[in-house]
Structures are given as C-alpha cells and as structure tokens.
Amino acid sequence: MKKIFIGFCALIVCYATIFAGGSNEKSESLHFRVSMPEASADNKAVAIRQVVENIQKRTSGRVTFDVYYSAELGTFTDTIESIALGSNIIDGTSGDAYAPYGCPDMTALNLMYMYPDSKSVMKFNDSSLFKEMTAELEKNSGIKMICMNWCGAPREVLSTKPIHSVADLKGKLIRVPLPPYVAFFKRLGCSTVKMSLAEVYTGMQQGMLDACEFPLGTIFTNSLQEVAKYCFLSSHTFAPTCWGMSAALFNKMSPEDRKIFIEEFSKGGEYFTKLNAENMADYRKKLEAVGVQFVEPSDADKRAMSAAAAAAVSDFPELSKGLVDKLRAAMK
C-alpha cells in the first residue's frame, strides 16, 4: 500500500514540476501551517515561533504562518502524507518518520546512540550524505526537507514503577514513536506500543502504560511527572527534528524568499539546540522538586544498551550496505 502511495506522490511531483515551471522568479503570497507534536511551552515551540516571526518580517508578509501544537493537525503520519499530497503543512518530527515516503535510508537517522553529541547532528545536517537522502526523498515523494539541525535533548525513560537498572525494563510496556525505538527496546525486554504524545498522560494515569521516553523538557511541559515518578537516564537518542514541506510550494517562492526560509529554519535549529543545552539541568531540578527520582545507568547498563542498539540495526535490512559507517563518518 505504501508503494502505491509513493507512486501516486511521484505522479503528483511530476505534474507539480510541469505546472510550476517558470514561476520561481516572483514569489507568491503563501500561508503555511506548522505542525509539531510537542506542547506550546516546549523549547521547539519557543524556537519555531521565532522562526516564523523572522520569516514573516523578512518577506514583508509574503509568507505567513499559523503554528499548531500537540498534534492538533494529526499524527506525523497524517501530516507527512498530507505534505506529500501538496498541502501547506510544514511538519517538524524525527527524520526516520519520513523513511516510508521514498528514502528508506532515513530510518538510520534515528537509530539509538547514533549521535554522540549535538555537534555531530549539526555536522551531519551539512553533509553530502544528508543532501543525497533529501534529494531522493524529494524526487520520490515531493517532500522538501528544509533542515535537520534541530538537535533535541537526550531522551530518557520515565516509568510509573522504579527502574534501578536495565534489567528492570524487562516486561515493561513502553510507548515509543517509531520502528528504531521498537527494535531497541524489544532487545531490552520491553513490550512497545505506539500512541500520540497527547495520549501518553492518560495512558500512564490509567495503567495502560508502564513507561514512556522523552526529553526532560517534554516530560515537564506535558505534565507527565504527575503520573510517573521514576526516570532512568538512558539518553538513547537526541532525535533530531527534520522539517519537511511540499517541494512544489517551496518552489513557488522566489529564490530570495527560499533563501530566507532556509536561513531562518537553520538559525532556529541552532537556537533550539542552545535552549535544550541551557534548560536541561533546570528541567531536572523542576522534576526533582515534584518528586521524580532519577537513576544513572551503571557501566554494565551502558554496555547492555549499546549492545541492544547495535543488534537493532539488523531489523532494517532495507538500509543501504555500510550506511551506518557512512553516517558516522559524515559526522566527523
């Protein structure tokens, strides 16, 4: 079914290219809807508001935006499929969410422990390998990838029951968003379930979930500390945000406005990454103040998690041969 959808998208891209030809010199007035799963108080929301304000000013109102939080426009699957069909949504989510839309190698963008730090994310955003991936995505689905230098804070496990070590994760039902998380956590003995961020609070409150995994800021701004008090600092991924939009609509802007667009989203990524680094300790203090208990993994735990992450790669035979090594080389 996904192959049929991609083929349909490719047909739309072909027609969009034909009818958009020659329209790039003069920018049309365009309005976009920015979609994100996080709440309005999240660092990502703070950064994206700055981005859209700057673009609106620099384009003298030729490009305008509304921002929608907490998945108001639907799940990332809903919004990405809508983008591929030419809608005016701009979606900010993990890069592997785009993999089914014409670039399977993008699954590797969020393999666990792929990025050693935020600087490695920035380097990969500027790499030729990332440009190759985004070109393939655009060719096959009509989705323009704006950038992926929005480096999230480390994601940690939040549980309704104490987790003192990796062994305590065994048997837990944990909410995860995408296949790389499933592959990783199942090797740690967890069962996994997919649900939207907006559903997690109720799921944990009503005992339908044992655990979830998010950055500390997302935990706090979504009040998850009210229903779970145990945090295991696994730091399994930075989950960089990739911003995708319709390539046909991007190309309706003048070269000058397209340049402004890319510049401001890239600056927003730097600001978002800076906010995460600055606020992480503060969010931990806020969570500790309301009774959340933190556990640092032991060296044995770290080895077990690293081994699980390495083994999880085998769940994705569609990845190009040697891709993981190429990804790591692109970050150096």
**pLDDT tens digits for range 181-214:** 999 999 999 999 999 999 999 999 999 999 999 9
Domains annotated for the chain, with CATH where assigned, are 2-17+26-152+240-279 (3.40.190.170), 155-237+281-320 (3.40.190.170)
CB 90 within 8 A of CB 35: yes
pLDDT at 271 over 70: yes
CB 48 within 8 A of CB 103: no
CB 241 within 8 A of CB 44: yes
> Once rounded to an integer, what is the mean pLDDT over residues 298-318?
97
Coil, strand or helix at 100: helix
As to burial, measured by CB atoms within 10 angstroms (0-12 exposed, 13-18 middle, 19+ buried), residue 1 is: exposed
pLDDT score recorded for residue 26: 58
pLDDT in tens, 200-258: 999 999 999 999 999 999 999 999 999 999 999 999 999 899 999 999 999 999 999 99
Does the reported pTM lie above 0.75? yes
pLDDT score recorded for residue 7: 52
* DSSP for residue 253: S
24: enclosing H helix or E strand: none
What's the CA gap between 221 and 40, in Å, rounded? 8
